[in-house]
Chains A and B, each alone.
Chain A
Amino acid sequence: MDKLARLAISEEGFIFDPVSGNSFTTNKTGLFNLKALKEGKGEEEIVQALTEKYETTKEGAEKDVTDFIEQLRYYRLI
């Protein structure tokens, strides 16, 4: 999670990686996930938090979180 720690993340969902110079945008759910990951929360914890905050099923939240983490991996952010 060292890479996540270095990211600059704005409240509007703009993400800047100061090492690669790359920038990204994400929606509110992505921002929620990213902040939770930065705080060191695990996938299950994030899924639980998502279902509490948003109107979504556990399965839907699981899929979202897994997809999001895969995207972070693809962009070499984790």
Chain B
Amino acid sequence: MKKVCVAVSGINAVDNPGPGIGVIRSLKEDSVLEIEAIGLAYDAMEPGIYMDWLVDRVFILPYPSGDKEGFLNRLLYVKKAANIDIVIPTLDAEMPVYIKAADYLQSMGIKTFLPTKSQFELRGKTKLTEVANKIDLKIPETRIVTSYEDLVKALNDIGLPVMVKGLYYKAYRAYTYQEATGYFNKIVAEWGYPVIIQQVVSGEEMNVIGVGDGTGGSLGLVAIKKLWITSLGKIWTGVTVKNEALLNAASNFVKEFKWRGAFELECIVSKDDIYLIEINPRFPAWVYFATGVGINLPARLLKAALGLPVEGKNEYSAGKLYVRYTYDIVTDMSIFQSIVTKGEC
């Protein structure tokens, strides 16, 4: 098979890791695909730059939140320099840019396999009720607040503790009015209004990862439970589960919204109720867990994007353990030097 050149972002394998390294490792482990992996980095210190057994070449990109034209021009430079066939973005902040530019990138010879703009907007916490209702999930009691008066009313209505969340990013648990006010101000300062005040639901925190084919079909689903998380809330160990209600809900999500591309549903399972907490329109950083249990979602996404046949196996075993670990690389300055001076290596 012809070698496929794939650009992948999120190679920042740090304490709050991006999904890129898991995506690349999955692609390279596929038995059919022959992959050249191009890492797209935003900082010369991203560890993926130095992981040459997985990442073949690296290019530094400007931040997507800045000049959009400059960002896309840099991507076209990468296309010209490395002849990339497809790009798999994995970071929240870059998704809107890639989704908006998907047709343009396609016309320039760079494929993507992303959700549409309207699908992407479903991740907004104000949209969660609509999504949850359509796929028979619940959501915790929620208030959308835009003032201090609204906040106090929401706290009185819901009762403490509560989750204080930004519309798209950040979530804090508050046990007192003072804490809730502090987090409210913090989110407003960083992300603006509105702020979401949500009931704390107790239960098992479970997540589902999957890929939708864009016509209502699922290219694979894996459900897991996080067993141990870091102080940043990131998974360190986890276990696969076979919760049929949760997997059915994820399957309905793909079917109902004709989801295209990767996604992660974050849920809380409380007795027979499943609460939808968050939709992530991309692979999570633990994406390799699914690959490790036989459901190679990045490879399936890539094959779907290239119009290749996608394997239909969706069975995996419950009780498989995921353990993240740290590792050390010692290298010389030449890679760092090249990245800093040329923006690529």
Contact = CB atoms under 8 A, between A and B. Distances in A.
Nearest to A16: B319
Q: Which of A21, A22, A23 has the most CB of B within 10 A?
A: A21
Interface residues of A, number: 9
Contacts of B242: 18-19
A19 B241 contact: yes
B204 A22 contact: yes
Contacts of A20: 204, 225, 241, 243, 269
Secondary structure dominating the interface of A: loop
B152 interface: no
Contacts of A21: 204, 206, 224-225, 227, 239-241, 318
| Interface of B (DSSP majority class) | strand
B319 A19 contact: no
A23 to B, nearest CB: 8
Interface in A1-15: 8
Contacts of A8: 318-319
A8 B320 CA distance: 12
A72 to B, nearest CB: 16
A23 B228 CA distance: 13
Contacts of A19: 241-244, 318
A23 B242 CA distance: 14
Interface string B170-206: 0000000000000000000000000000000000101
A42 to B, nearest CB: 26
Contacts of B239: 21, 23
Interface of B: 204, 206, 224-225, 227, 239-244, 269, 271, 318-319
Interface of A: 8, 16, 18-23, 76
Given A8-B318, A20-B243, A21-B240, 5 more contacts: A16-B318, A18-B318, A19-B244, A21-B206, A76-B271
Q: Which 10 A-B pairs have the closest CB atoms?
A: A21-B225, A18-B318, A21-B241, A18-B242, A21-B239, A16-B319, A19-B243, A20-B204, A18-B319, A18-B241
